[in-house]
Every structure is written in structure tokens, then in C-alpha cells.
Amino acid sequence: MYTQIHAWLNRTHPLPRRFAAASIPDNPDHHWLVWAGIQDAHLLHKAADLDWRTLFESSEIARKYVTRACTLLGTDQVEDLDDKHTVTSALGPPPAQATPLYIVSVGEATNERVVYIGKTVADTRFSGGHAAALKLHNPIYSGMKKTIYRCSVTVLLESDHVALEWVDPPEVAEQILDDVESRLIFALKPELNSKKTINDCAKNKCAVHVHQSACWPRSNRRCPR
């Protein structure tokens, strides 16, 4: 996903303040906006083989990238395309956002539907199996394609679009993630989620916008407001 680090290197947006100064604790209220961006799609049986980074790991990777980039440039200003080339040649492209939110679907095309929505802040979420995956062994799902979509989360904070893993302190980031998961489960009511389907359990009733890419199940294109 195109992040503010990309925008900084492309000279379309200054370096986010949280990378350039001492961090000020974030305190979002019920007015904040969230974007859930579908980053990739995989067959569900491959989930355990995917790279599941924690929010902390993703945050550290982003901060180290910016610190090394500023060291290479001798400043936090990207003056021209040569500066961008200097950074990307030495460090590669900016790191991708974390994907702590995931959506499981069954079926294909117009018959595809969401059956489970979950979140993870650990890197071992699927290594020991998953309850929803076991439920999909039910004969009613026999022969259906099973897909897992991994989503990034971006929050609008003080006019900045902030990747969830950049939110400080981590407890606030985890609360935002829980609220996003809660709002999506309540809106879509996936059949394999046993909690959060009857009541909206979000602490803050944030507006969640889903980047509705071509891979998003058409029968579930509803977003909580």
C-alpha cells in the first residue's frame, strides 16, 4: 500500500512528524476515521506459511528505514529524484504496512461471502491451527474455494494518514484494531464469528472505510458508519 513514507520519497508529503520528533501519545476519540485496505489474497490453507508480522515489528521496520534514509541523505528533506534513488538503491522500497486484520471467505465470484473476520497482533496466529478453519471442514463448505484476505489499517490523526503500527502507545493501536474488527463483524455478521455479531462492541464508533478492490467479495460490500 502507498504510505506516507512513499509520499515523502516522492516529495508529495513531508516526513510524518512522528518520525521526526519525540512521540506524543495518540488519543483518538469517536470522530476518527479508519481505512481498511485489502493488501493480498491467498488460499486459506496457505495462511500458516505467510509472513505475519506483529504491529511492533512493523513499526520498528518502518522507523529503522526512515532513520537509515535520513542518515544517507544527511537530512530529513528529499530534494529531488536523485535523493529518492539514493535511498531506494541502498534500502529498497519502503516497507509495506502491517496486515493485522484478516477476512475469510468461501465461494467465488457473485457467490462468494465473508464467513469470518479476525485480528492478530502476534506473528504465530495460524501456526497452531485456527478454530474457524476447523469449522470450514463442515460438509456444508465442501468443494467451496476458501480465501483469506489480509488488510492494513490506516487512521486519520491530526490530518495525517497514520499506519496503525505507527500509532503510539501500542495499547491505543490495539484498541483501534479491536474497534475496527468489532465494527466490521457487527456490520457483516459472518456466520463463523461467535462474538460481536449481535451488538456493536466497539468502544469508539469509528467510521470504517474498506478499500473495495476487485478481490473484495461483492456480496459483502458494506461498511459501518
Which pTM was predicted? 0.86
**pLDDT (tens digit per residue) in 150-209:** 999 999 887 788 899 999 888 999 999 999 999 999 999 999 999 999 988 888 888 888
User: What's the pLDDT tens digit per position in 45-97?
Assistant: 898 888 888 899 999 999 999 999 999 999 999 999 999 999 999 999 999 99
Q: What are the residue ranges spanned by the domains of the chain? A: 25-54+97-220
> Could you tell me where the beta strands, DSSP code E, fall in the chain?
33-43, 101-106, 113-119, 146-157, 160-163, 207-211
- Residue found by looking up cell 490495539 in the block: 174
